Amino acid sequence: MLVLGIESSCDETAAAVISRGNLLSSVVASQIKDHCKYGGVVPEIASRKHIEAINFVVQEALEDAGVTIKEIEGIAVTRGPGLIGSLLIGLSTAKALAFALNIPLAGVNHLEGHIAASFLSESTPEFPFIALIVSGGHTNVYLVKNYHEFTLLGQTRDDAAGEAFDKAAKLLNLGYPGGVVIDKLAKQGDPQAVAFPRPMKDSPDFSFSGLKTSLLTMLKKRGRDFEEGQLPDVTASYQEAIVDVLIEKTIQAARDNGIHRIVVCGGVAANGRLREKFAAAAIAANMELFIPPAVLCTDNAAMIAAIGEIMLVSGRSDSLDLNAVSRWPLT
């Protein structure tokens, strides 16, 4: 089935074409330059930029795939969770195309899409598996039984891991997006230089607000002026605290449920240290690890098209009165 996927849940306008599980094209228009001066995503600006980009992105995805819009057999679009204004741009476009072409429409959960990104790699996981979705808005661990059945095993009680990166970058005046900047700077530092806390060790849930507070307290005591080499040490140590907690809790969830396969997905899964250290930890724990390529970890429409095709082929579709939702739990 030839499926067009559309993603606009936050600040990336994306479109992709998939056929029988094979990715034919994937186009992403980023808004980072538009938001970086504000230190984060401004919802109103995001919505306007989606309006400007959506038609061009869809057309480019079709051209890259070598198909015309009339050949598309189904539309998959992110319905939520996300910024309502942003979601509505993609959803309105998808519904208009589905109506004009008289083809089925599938509204996709953004989190389900992140998990589906693992199905686009050369090596794909078999069910059941444990999935860690880690991004700027979510840090959740699920038991994934099949394409559409999930059990929530752990979640953040405050900040998401990606949010913790962004807030730290803001405290350190490193710019936006924080995760990318810290990942790059931390490569020059010593991850053991500063003893940041690893909170909630005995719980399946996560908490990163205390880690952020620990960094803030340190800065209040010593100031924000660093000698050469000190700032990379701080960022490396801060990053290590986040990475350690993510790995330990995910592997423990796998052990507790007798599962030997782990999927790590979401924007933070593009972090180099997380990928490196998780790979070593999975080998030590005798578990299979699946992490999509970095380009499929951040928001994209390929993952939406991937799960959308599975939904449409199985007969699951939505009516044209489908609406966007800002909150949409996966379970």
Q: Are 136 and 95 part of one and the same domain?
A: no
Closest of 84, 216, 242 to residue 156, by C-alpha: 242
Question: What is the CATH number for 307?
Answer: 3.30.420.40
| Residue 299 CB coordination number (10 Å) | 26
8 A C-beta contact, residue 76 and residue 6: yes
8 A C-beta contact, residue 324 and residue 94: no
pTM of the entire predicted model: 0.95
Cα separation, 59 vs 9, whole angstroms = 19
- In terms of C-beta density within 10 A (0-12 exposed, 13-18 middle, 19 or more buried), how is residue 286 classed? exposed
Cα separation, 118 vs 121, whole angstroms = 6
Opening angle at CA 265, ends 263 and 267, nearest 5: 165
Q: Are 64 and 191 part of one and the same domain?
A: no
Query: Is 320 inside any structural domain?
Result: no
Structure confidence at residue 221 as a pLDDT band (50, 70, 90):
confident
pLDDT tens figures, 17-74: 999 999 999 999 999 999 988 888 999 999 999 999 999 999 999 999 999 999 999 9
Query: Is 326 inside any structural domain?
Result: no
Cα separation, 83 vs 91, whole angstroms = 12
Query: Is 319 inside any structural domain?
Result: no
Query: Is 327 inside any structural domain?
Result: no
Query: Is 72 inside any structural domain?
Result: yes
Q: Is the pLDDT of residue 100 over 90?
A: yes
Q: Are 152 and 65 part of one and the same domain?
A: no
Percent of the chain with pLDDT over 90: 91
Closest of 172, 156, 294, 157 to residue 236, by C-alpha: 172
Query: Is 283 inside any structural domain?
Result: yes
Residue 245 belongs to domain spanning: 125-291
For the beta sheet containing 12-19, the strands, ordered from the edge strand earlier in sequence to the opposite edge, are 22-30, 12-19, 2-7, 74-80, 105-109
Q: Are 86 and 233 part of one and the same domain?
A: no
Q: Are 184 and 212 part of one and the same domain?
A: yes
Q: Is the pLDDT of residue 228 over 80?
A: no
Query: Is 8 inside any structural domain?
Result: yes
Q: Is the pLDDT of residue 229 over 80?
A: no
All residues at 6 or more sequence positions from 247 whose CB lies less than 8 Å from its CB, including other chains: 274, 277, 278, 281
Number of structural domains in the chain: 2
In angstroms, the Cα distances linking 243 to 67, 164, 284 are: 41, 11, 16
DSSP states along 271-330: -HHHHHHHHHHHHHTT-EEE---HHHHSS-SHHHHHHHHHHHHTT--B-TT----S----
Q: Is the pLDDT of residue 122 over 90?
A: no
In angstroms, the Cα distances linking 202 to 25, 206, 207, 262, 317 are: 43, 10, 12, 20, 41
Q: Are 226 and 134 part of one and the same domain?
A: yes
Q: Are 61 and 167 part of one and the same domain?
A: no
Percent of the chain with pLDDT over 70: 100
Structure confidence at residue 242 as a pLDDT band (50, 70, 90):
very high
Query: Is 329 inside any structural domain?
Result: no
Mean pLDDT for the chain?
96
DSSP states along 181-228: HHHHHHTTS-TTSS------TTSSSB--HHHHHHHHHHHHHH-S---T
Structure confidence at residue 212 as a pLDDT band (50, 70, 90):
very high
Q: Are 38 and 184 part of one and the same domain?
A: no
Q: Are 306 and 224 part of one and the same domain?
A: no
Closest of 133, 136, 140, 114 to residue 204, by C-alpha: 140
Cα separation, 181 vs 191, whole angstroms = 16
